[in-house]
Structure 1
Amino acid sequence: MPASPSTARAINDRLALRLLQQEGPLTAGQLKQLTGLSRPTVADLVERLTVAGLISVVGESGEQRRGPNARLYGIVADRAQLAALDVRTEGVTVVVADLLGAELTRASVPIADDAGTGPAVEQAVALVERAAKEAGAERLHTVGIGAPGLIDPATGELRDSSGLPEWHRLLVAALQERLPARVIVENETNLAALAEQRDGAARDRDTFVLLWLGHGTGAAVVLDGRLRRGASGGTGEIGFLPVPGTATLPSATDCEGGFHSLAGGAAIAELAAAHGLAATESPGEPRAAALVRTAVTAVSSASSASSASTADASGTADASDTASSADTDRFRYDRADRFLSALADRLAVGAASVVAVLDPGCVVLGGEVGQAGGEALAARVGERLARMSPLPAEVRAGTLGGGAVLRGALLTARESAQDDLFTPRPR
């Protein structure tokens, strides 16, 4: 059955808006070429979208031709403002952006363990309100939230989870009550995977698994371009995965003894201490990430210094000082190398488990630890995984680190807002 004229117009309008969102400002001629629509049809949709306040003239094409330059049309970015939140156990970070995702302002607030549920919720909500006011956003259209814990697939709500602060769950309801905005909540690891697929390490993959490595552990599963959440929203709770090398087994309420006990932030810190490794943390950087970053730097620096010292020793009289320096570098290298190898052994256990079940072809080491380890850690995990699993799987280092959660929340809010605003209203 052919589409009615109104349905055809709606389809054409959404197609044009998506192209403008993806490609940036375009001329009517470029829209005609990209959509395959006729010139009169493109002229009509440009007029409709302009009258609706969704697009406007943002410049000229600058094409060298006789006559006036063609007008460039772009989406009206300030048609709606969005907010994205990264909710952690220790605090909240918020970004306010326009409809195209351009950041307008960013703010954070730490929330102490003993703050109390009510005060913690009020701190977080007040942070969002202040950030929106600072950005000049009188009315937020959509708020995307990334939080640890399970999302109920039936209701889309954050479920009550043991081990997580109560204020996490109550924050969603408080934002819905205080803000005239659509509020969307999603598991933080799932959002990180969406961000890595859109802007990071998995841009060329429609099937992959992201292992989240930060204070805690988690996994996100993307199969055939779709994020998979599972029957109860618990896909990727890899911290509870029973693994060898732990003293006990996890329970339904405690992941102690699971993969978390091998790869969580505290476990990585203990492993580093056992290898005599220390690190200086950067502001906001998890200790585990700082330790991994220090180890990677030590291995890289020692390798370079070893080559340099060999060359210097052959051309200097004071060879004893050079040898002493080389011995110190070698000692640091050995400790860092053994630590990274031991960590790669642990991470390969979790990676092999998901590869054996899902055969994703690609595993991304995400979060702050994955980013800190970079290609050096990813290569070690990949080597071990290749020996453990008959299924080929490339191991990549995440490129967005902890910022992937906020980026994923913003992408989700933008997608939702555009779906709403780009849907033509009946006249």
Structure 2
Amino acid sequence: MPASPSTARAINDRLALRLLQQEGPLTAGQLKQLTGLSRPTVADLVERLTAAGLIAVVGEAGEQRRGPNAKLYGIVADRAHLAALDIRTEGVSVVVSDLVGAVLAEASVPIDGDTGTGPAVEQAVALVERVVKEAGADRLHTVGIGAPGLIDPASGELRDSTGLPEWHRRLVAALQDRFPEARVNVENETNLAALAEQRDGAARDRDTFVLLWLGHGTGAAVVLDGALRRGASGGTGEIGFLPVPGTSGLPSAVDCEGGFHSLGGSAAVVELAGSYGLSPEGDAVHEPLAVEVVREAVALASGDGGAGVAASDVARPASAAGEQAAAMRTADSGDDADTARPLDDPSARADRHPDTDTPVASAEPSRAHGTVASAGRFLDALADRLAIGVASVVAILDPGCVVLGGEVGQAGGDVLARRVEERIRRMSPLATVVRPSGLGGAAVLRGALLTAREAAQDELFAPPDR
């Protein structure tokens, strides 16, 4: 049955708007070419969309040799303003953009863990108000929020999760009260990060992949056949609760301690680094410390720390005599040949690998060389831990690609990703590519902005009879 004239017009209008969104400003002739519509039909839709205030003339195309320049039509960017929030346990980041996603203003504010619920909510709301004002926006059309914890798939609300600050849940209601005309959407932070990595990051060429979030906590997002999978209760990817070997116990329904979180969370990463003498300075364990120690270890293992040692050549935990000898030769490569020490040299130190309790031979002809070897062993041990979680995901989902996300995943870069991939290759018959995040922690805010923009455009570009 052919579409009615009104339905056909709505379909054509929506197609033209999507093209303008994806391609940027276009002439009527370019719209005709890309849509396959007739010249009169394109002329009609341009007139309708202009009258509706959705598109406007934004310039001219001067490629024509004779006659007047063709008008360029673009989406009216200030038709709606959007806000994106990244809510963390330690603070909030906010971005305000126009309808096409151009960032107009952004800011962050730390929120101390001792701050009460009311004051914390007031701080966050005041930040949003300030950023909206700096962006020159009168009101917000859509607000996208990324938050840790479970999102109820039926109501779309942030569920009460033990261990998360109460102000997280209160903030959503407070924003809705402050911006009553805005549509406020909440999504799990790891899910948003995955959407951003698929659109602009490490998974651009993948419609099926898993993002392993490595930050203050751990999480995973699953994208299968181009669609984000949330699960029956919104808990798909709660990998922090995955029971794994190497922990002091088992996780509980209200505490992920003892699960994969105990191996891959920021506190666990910093503690592991400390066992190799790589602890950063500071008394408290926060996410930035884990990022710092991983980044420094990668720099050392990559040769950026002054020793010129390739990542693949850094000393590894003892598993074969040949690997030990190669590691020792690498660690001593900066010295004269006659100063290199054999494995049985009394000055060589036998350490114990903290995860496997196997001997690790090393030598320290100088402090710098010892640090390089320690960095390599730390990254190997971290890759051992991460591979446990990745292998579990691979065995069940066979995603073909795993992205190490979050700030820690980005700090680890190709050096850490390559180590994890090597272990998965030995542990699983399923071919799996492991990649570092292309966006790091910024992926959450980027994903929140993308979902806000799509929600706003879906409403503003909707057929009038829908």
Task: State the shift of 1:178 in Å.
Answer: 1.3
1:370 is aligned, of 409, 430, 437, to 409
- Name the residue aligned to 2:327: none
Asked if the contact 1:149/1:158 (under 8 Å) is kept, the reply is yes
Tell me if structure 2 keeps the 8 A contact 1:211–1:219.
yes
Q: Contact 1:367–1:398 (CA<8 Å) still a contact in 2? A: yes
**Residue of structure 1 equivalent to 2:441:** 402
Matched, 1:34 2:50: no
CA RMSD after TM alignment? 2.1
- In terms of fraction of residues, the more helix-rich structure is 1
CA distance in 2: counterparts of 1:342 and 1:198, whole angstroms:
32
CA distance, structure 1, for counterparts of residue 21 and residue 281 of structure 2:
42
Counterpart of 1:379?
418
Residue 223 (str. 1) matches residue 224 (str. 2): yes
Contact persistence 1:125–1:174 (CA under 8 A): yes
SS of the equivalent of 1:378 reads: helix
Q: 1:278: Cα distance to partner?
A: 3.2
1:111-122 pair list within 5 angstroms: 111-122=111-122
Letter in 1 for 2:234: G
Q: Alpha-carbon deviations, 1:386-426, whole Å to 9, x = none? A: 11111111000001000000000000000000011111435
* 1:349 matched to 2:351: no
Q: Which runs of 5+ in 2 are unaligned?
A: 311-331, 338-362
Contact 1:101 1:414 in 2 (8 A): yes
In 2, the alpha carbon distance for the partners of 1:329 and 1:202 equals 36
Tell me the CA shift for residue 62 of structure 1: 1.9
Deviation at 1:329, TM superposition (A): 3.2
Give the match for residue 321 of structure 1.
Answer: none
C-alpha distance after superposition, 1:281-314 (max 9, x if no partner): 9xx9621111100000011126873479979979
Partner of 2:53: 53
Partner amino acid for 1:13? D
Q: 1:313 to 1:58 in 2, by over 3 A?
A: farther
Tell me which residue corresponds to 1:104: 104
**Whole-angstrom distance in 2 between the partners of 1:423 and 1:402:** 33
Task: Kindly tell me the number of residue pairs found equivalent between the two proteins.
Answer: 416
Query: Cα gap change, 1:156/1:53 in structure 2, threshold over 3 Å: closer, same or farther?
Result: same
CA distance in 2 between partners of 1:81 and 1:348 (Å):
42
Q: Distance in 2 between matches of 1:230 and 1:20?
A: 34
Q: 2: CA distance between counterparts of 1:138 and 1:326?
A: 65
Aligned to 1:74: 74
| Pair 1:341–1:64, CA change in 2 (3 A) | same
Query: Does the Cα contact within 8 Å between 2:190 and 2:221 map onto a contact in 1?
Result: yes
Report the alpha carbon displacement of residue 111 of structure 1 after superposing the two structures with TM. Answer: 1.2
> What CA distance in whole angstroms lies between the structure 2 residues aligned with 1:311 and 1:142?
58
Q: Is the CA contact 1:25–1:73 (under 8 Å) kept in the aligned structure 2?
A: yes
Q: C-alpha separation between the residues in 1 aligned to 2:309 and 2:295?
A: 22
Deviation larger for 58-67 or 70-79: 58-67
Q: Is this contact kept in 1: 2:87–2:168, CA < 8 A?
A: yes
Does the aligned pair in 2 maintain the 1:306–1:329 contact within 8 Å? no
Identity %: 77
Structure 2: how far apart are the matches of 1:253 and 1:304?
A: 45
TM-score by length of 2: 0.86
CA contact (8 A) 2:222 2:237 kept: yes
> 8 Å contact 2:32–2:38 — kept in the other structure?
yes
Q: 2:325 is matched with which residue?
A: none
- Residues 160, 312 of structure 1: alpha-carbon distance in 2 compared, 3 angstrom cutoff: closer
Alpha-carbon distance in 2 for matches of 1:94, 1:386: 40
Q: Give the structure 1 partner of residue 328 of structure 2.
A: none
Instruction: Output aligned runs, 1:76-95, within 5 Å.
Output: 76-95=76-95
What letter matches 2:252 in structure 1?
Answer: S
Query: For the residues of structure 2 that align with 1:246 and 1:204, how far apart are their CA atoms?
Result: 36
Cα deviation digits, residues 50-86 of structure 1 (max 9, x gap):
1111111111112142111211111111111000000
Q: SS where residue 203 of structure 1 aligns?
A: coil
User: By how many angstroms is 1:330 displaced?
Assistant: 2.1
Unaligned runs of 5+ in 1: 315-323
Is the 1:302–1:333 contact (alpha carbons within 8 Å) kept by the matching residues of 2?
no
By how many angstroms is 1:326 displaced? 7.7
Separation (CA, whole Å) in 1 of partners of 2:373 and 2:108: 39
Deviation at 1:327, TM superposition (A): 3.7
